[in-house]
Amino acid sequence: MAYIVDMRSDTVTKPTKAMKHAMVNSALGDDVFGEDPTVNALESKVATLLGKQAALFVPSGTMANLIAIMVHCNKRGSEAIVGRESHIFQYEQGGSAHLAGVLLHPMKNNPDGTFDLAEVESLIRGSDVHEPITSLVCIENTHNKCGGKVLPLKWLDECAALCKRHSIPLHVDGARLLNASAHLEVAPERLVRDCDTVYICFSKGLSAPVGSALAGSYHFIEQARRMRKMLGGGMRQAGVLAAAALVALEEVAPRLPLDHKRAFRLAKVIEGLFLKSFSVDVANQHTNIVLVRIAAASALSADAVLQRLEQVCLAETQGDCKTTNDEGVIVKGIPFDNKTIRLTTHNDISDEDLWLAIMKITYVFKELDAAHPF
């Protein structure tokens, strides 16, 4: 069988041995009653880590974002300003409108994940009876669709100051906030110092099987707990899951710089192939997400390239071109659009896995570049 290097996402990781041990041996209680000691310990740890008064363990990041929007935008006719490329706008099924009755006002994202703050200020509405009420600004750090970019500290400070001037809460989709912290070498608390609410994800990059934590003020978390119950996110003996998240913070979070180094190595190799069809922005490679751009003039598509990466040709190892799945290497990635491929490093990608992926990608990219000149 072919050896598979799965780089589709940092969510494909398996729990570590320490996580499995902690899950089996965790102290448990009914978390809806606030009686699960492991969940309580996790929430306390996350609140301290992020410099907030309290935190709430939830099943997913999508629910964390939805809860934040529901609590902050609690008047009918509210809107939230978000990036056009944000996870909230792109990948959460319009839940803000469908479930919370909140209008999303999308802003154009810059390549680094930021957006124009002067434009944000000009878009703030609510004084006119014809308009919705701007009740929230949401940002994403790191920014997934912009290639795992880390938002600049100066921009974060300016964004928070703008929101405070207008008394508008600022929420951070921090699914990969700890990656941002590792890249900038500053504490997570600093990244969200002036933000009202933030969530972090334990199953993206941290190898836990499931779960996120939403943090904010005592009052916010009190309201968030009500929203979690209404959405069906009230779990009972949830310490089984929280135990893995605690291990993730202690064991896996410190290893995130290794994921970043491996992603940078991969990006450098692809850049060093000097192919017309494929490019990577190495200069702005921040964290564990590598975006491979396919030249607009090329006939190649992201789907076609990914299909080839999942095929094994005997020429790769034996010099004879017959398609087989009995040996060789398969690399899995995902398409972001017709001309963009995402490859993601994570805790289950070792140096050997990376080397095998590089060999496969090099072979396939050269093959496709030669077969599709333009």
- H/E element, 279: strand 278-279
Find all residues with CB under 8 Å of 223, minimum gap 6, and list them: 71, 74
Per-residue tokens: 55: 């935190």
Domain residue limits, the chain = 3-10+255-371, 17-252
Q: Is the CATH code 3.40.309.10 the one for domain 3-10+255-371?
A: no
Give the side-chain half-sphere CA count within 13 A for 298.
23
pLDDT band at 314 (very low <50, low <70, confident <90, very high): confident
Tell me if 260 sits within 8 A of 183, measured CB to CB: yes
pLDDT of the residue at 319:
54
User: Is the pLDDT confidence value at 195 over 70?
Assistant: yes
Tell me if 58 sits within 8 A of 70, measured CB to CB: no
Helices 239-247/17-25 angle, 10° precision: 150
pLDDT of the residue at 323:
45
pLDDT tens profile 318-355: 655 444 445 789 999 999 999 999 999 999 999 999 99
pLDDT tens profile 234-293: 999 999 999 999 999 999 999 999 999 999 999 999 999 999 999 999 999 999 999 999
**Rounded Cα distance, 254 and 17, in Å:** 17
Tell me if 27 sits within 8 A of 365, measured CB to CB: no
Mean pLDDT, rounded, of the chain: 95
pLDDT of the residue at 315:
75
Backbone angles phi, psi at 156, to 5 degrees: -60, -45
pLDDT of the residue at 316:
76
pLDDT of the residue at 318:
64
pLDDT tens profile 70-117: 999 999 999 999 999 999 999 999 999 999 999 999 999 999 999 999
pLDDT tens profile 151-190: 999 999 999 999 999 999 999 999 999 999 999 999 999 9
* 172 DSSP β-pair partners: 139, 198
Which one is the CATH code of 17-252: 3.30.1330.10, 3.40.640.10, 3.20.20.70, 3.40.50.720?
3.40.640.10
Q: What mean pLDDT comes out for the span 207-233?
A: 97
- Residue listed under structure tokens 């017709």: 338
- Residue listed under structure tokens 């939403």: 214
pLDDT tens profile 22-69: 999 999 999 999 999 999 999 999 999 999 999 999 999 999 999 999
Handedness of CA 257, 137, 212, 5 (dihedral sign): negative
Q: What is the largest CA-CA distance in the chain?
A: 72
pLDDT of the residue at 194:
97
